[in-house]
């Protein structure tokens, strides 16, 4: 399969600070790839290098299986910092200027404004926009040339909860169109809810890389309750997907075998004429896994 991006042994030092240290990464088409790490971990420096804003000290990166960087940049929309728009111009007027700078058609202005949810406010001046709307217009500007790849650096930074929800939903919509998204974030929740793949950086070093789904997964632990807990325990003892069972005063905690989940438990109980009062699946959070990974590398 063609690779969207391959990074090999990429390094960058600023004086005494090793910002990025021999970083290896691969991003495939259609992935929403999150670069996760605290401030100062090398996320923005990495994005700057692959966009040729920052010159690497060593290592290489290749876009689209070694397409020239000049050609590659035509296929990439990016927001490294919040773009500067003219406050007294409207969204349409600002995007016409962006189209001129990018040397692309203005035909996509209307569709892009619809995509980012600003079509109804297209004739309002930029200064009247909320922070969330300004960020959505920034993403719209990055999408104006219809690039297959979008790069976002801390896309929800500084936004209120409503703005975060708006931008997060927009990123999901863009990803659903088949575009590849590479985003840097220090927000665990953002990566967990938006990304398909992620890596963790700390002080420029990659500590972990993988699928969000695989890392979080579903812990095969189910909590159930019923008016007659003893009877429920006896019935579930015959459930073929049961690994272990533990009872407390109000519920049963089940550990399930691989390929079994809450749906199987509920169906089994229903067949036995048992209506559960409570059925809860306990899942991992990225925060738990993040802390675990950091501890493993201390």
Alpha-carbon distance of 99 to 95, in angstroms, equals 6
pLDDT tens per residue across span 161-192? 888 989 999 999 999 999 999 999 988 888 88
Domains and CATH numbers, the chain: 5-216 (3.40.50.300), 221-282 (3.30.70)
Q: Looking at per-residue confidence, does 219 or 28 come out higher?
A: 28
**Residue 267: exposed, middle, or buried by beta-carbon count in 10 A (0-12, 13-18, 19+)?**
exposed
* Alpha helices, H only, the chain: 43-50, 69-73, 91-102, 109-115, 131-142, 161-176, 188-194, 212-216, 229-236, 262-271, 286-296
Is residue 224 within 8 A of residue 232, CB to CB? The reply is yes
Rounded average pLDDT over 82-106: 92
Alpha-carbon distance of 20 to 28, in angstroms, equals 22
DSSP codes, 103-152: T--GGGHHHHHHHTT-GGGTTSBGGGS-HHHHHHHHHHHHTTT--SEEEE
User: Closest Cα to residue 205, out of 8, 18, 13?
Assistant: 18
pLDDT tens per residue across span 268-283? 999 999 999 999 887 7
pLDDT of residue 146: 94
Alpha-carbon distance of 41 to 208, in angstroms, equals 13
pLDDT of residue 68: 85
pLDDT of residue 67: 85
**Residue the block writes with tokens 């920034």:** 138
Paired sense of beta strands 76-79 and 149-153, if any:
parallel
pLDDT tens per residue across span 112-125? 999 999 999 999 99
pLDDT higher than threshold 90 for residue 84: no
pLDDT higher than threshold 80 for residue 91: yes
pLDDT higher than threshold 60 for residue 263: yes
Rounded average pLDDT over 196-205: 93
pLDDT of residue 219: 56
Binning pLDDT at 50, 70 and 90, where does residue 87 land? very high
User: Closest Cα to residue 184, out of 4, 19, 83, 44?
Assistant: 44
Is residue 265 within 8 A of residue 254, CB to CB? The reply is yes
Torsion over CA: 228, 230, 233, 234 (sign)? negative
Compute the mean pLDDT over every residue in the chain, rounded to the nearest whole number.
Answer: 90
Q: Which of 15-29, 93-107, 189-203, 273-287 has the lowest mean pLDDT?
A: 273-287
Is residue 79 within 8 A of residue 137, CB to CB? The reply is no
**Residue 266: exposed, middle, or buried by beta-carbon count in 10 A (0-12, 13-18, 19+)?**
middle
User: Closest Cα to residue 206, out of 14, 20, 60, 32?
Assistant: 20
pLDDT higher than threshold 80 for residue 294: no
pLDDT of residue 83: 67
pLDDT of residue 198: 93
pLDDT tens per residue across span 217-231? 555 678 999 999 999
pLDDT of residue 281: 84
pLDDT of residue 128: 95
Is residue 223 within 8 A of residue 252, CB to CB? The reply is yes
User: Closest Cα to residue 30, out of 152, 180, 151, 210?
Assistant: 180
């Amino acid at each position: 399969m063609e690779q969207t991006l391959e990074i090999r042994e990429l390094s960058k030092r600023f004086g005494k600070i090793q910002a990025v240290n021999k970083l290896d990464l691969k991003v495939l088409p259609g992935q929403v790839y999150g670069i996760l790490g605290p401030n100062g971990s090398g996320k923005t420096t990495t994005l700057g290098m692959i966009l040729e804003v920052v010159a690497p000290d060593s290592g290489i990166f290749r876009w689209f299986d070694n397409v020239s960087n000049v050609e590659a940049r035509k296929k990439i929309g990016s927001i490294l910092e919040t773009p500067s728009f003219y406050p007294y111009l409207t969204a349409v007027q600002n995007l016409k200027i962006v189209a001129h700078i990018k040397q692309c058609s203005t035909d996509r202005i209307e569709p892009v404004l619809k995509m980012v949810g600003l079509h109804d406010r297209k004739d309002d001046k930029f200064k009247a926009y909320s922070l969330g709307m300004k960020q959505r217009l920034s993403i719209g500007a990055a999408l104006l040339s219809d690039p297959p790849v979008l790069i976002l650096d801390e896309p929800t930074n500084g936004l209120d909860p409503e703005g975060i929800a708006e931008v997060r939903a927009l990123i999901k919509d863009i990803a659903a169109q088949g575009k590849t998204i590479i985003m840097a974030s220090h927000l665990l929740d953002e990566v967990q809810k938006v990304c398909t793949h992620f890596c963790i950086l700390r002080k420029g070093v990659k500590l972990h890389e993988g699928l969000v789904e695989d890392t979080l997964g579903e812990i095969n632990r189910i909590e159930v309750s019923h008016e007659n807990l003893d009877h429920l325990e006896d019935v579930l003892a015959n459930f073929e997907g049961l690994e272990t069972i533990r009872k407390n005063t109000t519920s049963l905690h089940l550990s399930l075998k691989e390929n079994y989940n809450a749906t199987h438990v509920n169906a089994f109980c229903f067949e036995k004429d048992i209506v559960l009062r409570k059925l809860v699946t306990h899942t991992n959070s990225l925060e738990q896994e993040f802390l675990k990974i950091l501890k493993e590398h201390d």
